[in-house]
Chain A
Amino acid sequence: MSGDHQTLALVLFSVFIAVTLGITTWVSRNRHGSAEEFYAGGRLFSPLENGFAIAGDYMSAASFLGISGLIALYGYDGMLYSVGFLVAWLVVLLLVAELVRNCGRFTLADVVAARMAERPVRIAAGTSSVAVSVLYLVAQMVGAGSLVALLLGGTGEAARSWTVVGVGALMVIYVSLGGMRATTWIQIVKAVLLMAGTITLTVLVLLRFHGDVNSLLSSAAERSGRGKDFLAPGLRYGGDWTARLDFISLGIALVLGTAGLPHILSRFYTVPTARAARRSVVWAIGLIGSFYLMTIVLGFGAAALIGPGEVRASNASGNTAVPLLALDLGGGAGSTGGTVLFAVVAAVAFATILAVVAGITLASSASVAHDLYASLRHRHAKQYSEVTVARIAAAVIGAAAIGLGLLARDLNVAFLVGLAFAVAASANLPVLLYSLFWRKFTTRGAVWAVYGGLIPAVLLVLVSPVVSGSPEALFPGVDFHLFPLQNPGVVSIPLGFFAGWIGTVTSTEPPDEARHAETEVRALTGAGAA
């Protein structure tokens, strides 16, 4: 890699940082410091703005770098992520967005606690939200690391670590200074940049093949050395039945996980009404859907123009396929076009990571301050304001994610996100759906649903080949893996639902009819919504 595009990319990225820091300062200039302001940005965003912000929160480095990389390496099997990530939004749109907007205030736990004994439910839902957020953050940190490794030509091991640290520190500044309002504007700016970058690359790929998708696909198949198999399922997940079951497990986790992601749920509180929440999801689906369609083109484009071999040589899990593609589309290494395009793509990817990281950190700091600290603090302990606690929490969570991100740096980003989705779908989705739709649901059922999904999901990951017993594992030297699948979803999601059901039918307290009526009326009409 020549010094030119390094310099240019760093300049562009610094511009983005300067702009977003400017936004942060500007929006927080007359901030009240209230929880309403800090977590929900005053709830006055328009559906269009929130739609872009949701898309910005969701289209992470995992999507931009990870999915295209997987498609470049494995062809069709990478597409599963695109499809799953999009279809998941139907669960959000139909079952979750409006109802959550109407009966919660800041977090997932608000919705559940409205019907149940507050303290145990808040602790449970807060814990699982933090767990999901940290996993998701790690994925973003890994993305940042591999991007820098590419930028600096894979030379600087230390540089890579410092980037991860730097990204973490920046996001803590954004979140603690600007709260939801700044985070939302960063998401919007990032979503626009990302869409613009993706559209440019897609058009260039299609132009290269004279608009002929057929020839794009056949060159990709040819270059891959796998022929037609490259365009059909099975290259990554086709082997034995364990691999196939893993694929199904991942598919289920992707489609059910989105509705349980804390940073997505918290976005619905930034608009004034349920109707606005619905319209923002419709915007988001439009943006996200077109984005994922384009990542498919980029993935196959990278396979056709760069070739899976070269992509793998640059980064074993494919995270750098898109920057390499940009370099090639601009005219190749050394050319001005290539340099510029590469720098732009690298800067956009960086912006993407930073914005997503800020969104997740904000959501998890809300879970810590609003749910966990509020429930666990000592009555007579010194009183800090909730927003202060949230700011401290942001720093602590940032630090934890940095540490884990350094450990996990060789795993594929999209794959790591798959794990976060599995935990979200197991721990958060059952309790949320039961609370919204099941009349007989009780406090014990709620607590069991959360832990009954969270604990199996986390344990199964710990004893899976991701952590030990395979060459790509976190700890390749040791082998304590007991569970054959990499993604726990197929086991842990049903367990979450089952635990919630068992907890409810065995609980001695009767369900609270009146509070259920209140939840249902509020959820569907918006009466008394925050």
Chain B
Amino acid sequence: MDQVDKQEGLGASAKPVDDPWYEATASGWGEGAETGAPGDAHPDAVPRQRVHGAAEIYLEVQRSPAFQEVRGRYRRFVFPAALAFLLWYLAYVVAATAAPGLMARPVAGVVNVAMVAGLGQFLTTFLLTWAYARHARLRRDRAALELRWDTQEMTRGVVQP
């Protein structure tokens, strides 16, 4: 775990300064040396050829099995989970309006179905947060980090003249 953190920290400091992607509006216009280059707020300002090189690299990475695997793991967790909690929340809201009789049914003492359902929403939110963080940490972070280094290595070669 610690190792991943360290690497991430390094990644943050080793920002690719000459990255075509952000050169456009990246550094905030009107400051420093490049101030006033007209049109520097537009992506066309980036020399076409460099974009091309990088674009091919990104397409290549996108098609690679390693990336497909990371994306698959992410989507296979996130899409069903998002659908599930949205439906559960929607069911709760609709039940509160359309079926107040059901929601008012007592469970224990003055606590009724509505109270239990509301607190259930809190509970499921906490559980899903925990499950997602765990899934991302164990199943995605390492592979994503490796892809990040590979991609940055490849684009660095292209970008630097």
Q: A43-B12, A525-B151, A528-B151 are in contact. Are A517 and B94 (CB under 8 A)?
A: no
- Which residues of B have CB within 8 Å of A105? 22, 25-26
Q: A93 CA to B90 CA in the complex, in Å?
A: 18
A67 to chain B, nearest CB (A): 13
A448 to chain B, nearest CB (A): 21
Within 8 A of A (CB), among B134-161: 136, 141, 144-145, 147-148, 151-152, 155
Q: A34-B28, A118-B43, A386-B28 are in contact. Are A273 and B16 (CB under 8 A)?
A: no
A174 to chain B, nearest CB (A): 20
Q: A272 CA to B55 CA in the complex, in Å?
A: 25
Contact assessment for B136 and A278 in the assembled complex, using a CB-CB cutoff below 8 Å: yes
Contact assessment for A83 and B118 in the assembled complex, using a CB-CB cutoff below 8 Å: yes
Within 8 A of A (CB), among B15-53: 15-16, 19, 21-22, 24-32, 35-36, 38-39, 41-43
Contact assessment for A527 and B147 in the assembled complex, using a CB-CB cutoff below 8 Å: yes
Q: A292 CA to B96 CA in the complex, in Å?
A: 19
Q: In the complex, identify which listed stretch (A246-254, A333-341, A345-353) lies at the interface while the others stay far away.
A: A246-254
Q: A93-B132, A282-B129, A386-B28 are in contact. Are A247 and B59 (CB under 8 A)?
A: no
A377 (CB) vs chain B CBs: closest residue: B41
B122 to chain A, nearest CB (A): 6
Q: Is A479 an interface residue (CB 8 A)?
A: no
- Which residues of B have CB within 8 Å of A35? 27-28, 31
Taken residue by residue from 317 to 353, chain A's Cβ proximity to chain B (1 for < 8 Å, 0 otherwise) reads as 0000000000000000000000000000000000000
Count, A-B residue pairs, CB within 8 A: 231
Contact assessment for A94 and B121 in the assembled complex, using a CB-CB cutoff below 8 Å: no
Those 5 A-B pairs whose CB atoms lie nearest each other, nearest first? A35-B28, A272-B12, A232-B104, A514-B55, A251-B93
Taken residue by residue from 500 to 530, chain A's Cβ proximity to chain B (1 for < 8 Å, 0 otherwise) reads as 0000000000000111011011101111111
Q: A272 CA to B25 CA in the complex, in Å?
A: 19
Contact assessment for A530 and B26 in the assembled complex, using a CB-CB cutoff below 8 Å: yes
B82 to chain A, nearest CB (A): 5
Taken residue by residue from 49 to 83, chain B's Cβ proximity to chain A (1 for < 8 Å, 0 otherwise) reads as 00000111011011000010011001000100110
Contact assessment for B31 and A517 in the assembled complex, using a CB-CB cutoff below 8 Å: no
- Which residues of B have CB within 8 Å of A383? 30, 35-36
Q: Is A199 an interface residue (CB 8 A)?
A: no
Contact assessment for B82 and A232 in the assembled complex, using a CB-CB cutoff below 8 Å: no
Q: What class of interface size applies to chain B in its complex with A? A: 35 or more
Q: What class of interface size applies to chain A in its complex with B? A: 35 or more
Q: Which of A232, A233, A255 contacts B89 (CB 8 A)?
A: A255
- Which residues of A have CB within 8 Å of B144? 524-526
Taken residue by residue from 201 to 239, chain A's Cβ proximity to chain B (1 for < 8 Å, 0 otherwise) reads as 000000000000110011001000000110111100110
- Which residues of A have CB within 8 Å of B59? 513-514, 517
- Which residues of B have CB within 8 Å of A521? 58, 61-62, 67, 147, 151
- Identify 11 residue pairs between A and B in the complex whose beta-carbon atoms are under 8 Å apart, listed by A's number: A93-B132, A217-B110, A229-B104, A232-B100, A238-B97, A278-B136, A286-B126, A389-B30, A514-B56, A518-B55, A521-B67
- Which residues of A have CB within 8 Å of B96? 76-77, 80, 233-234, 247
Q: Which of A34, A36, A80, A214 contacts B111 (CB 8 A)?
A: A214
**9 extra interchain contacts, Cβ-Cβ under 8 A, other than A76-B115, A76-B118, A286-B129?**
A34-B27, A94-B132, A214-B111, A228-B112, A232-B114, A272-B11, A527-B155, A528-B22, A530-B26
- Which residues of A have CB within 8 Å of B70? 524-525
Q: In the complex, identify which listed stretch (A17-25, A84-92, A464-472) lies at the interface while the others stay far away.
A: A84-92
- Which residues of A have CB within 8 Å of B114? 76, 231-233
Contact assessment for A375 and B41 in the assembled complex, using a CB-CB cutoff below 8 Å: yes
Contact assessment for A518 and B12 in the assembled complex, using a CB-CB cutoff below 8 Å: no
Q: A114-B21, A521-B61, A528-B21 are in contact. Are A80 and B29 (CB under 8 A)?
A: no
Q: Is A155 an interface residue (CB 8 A)?
A: no
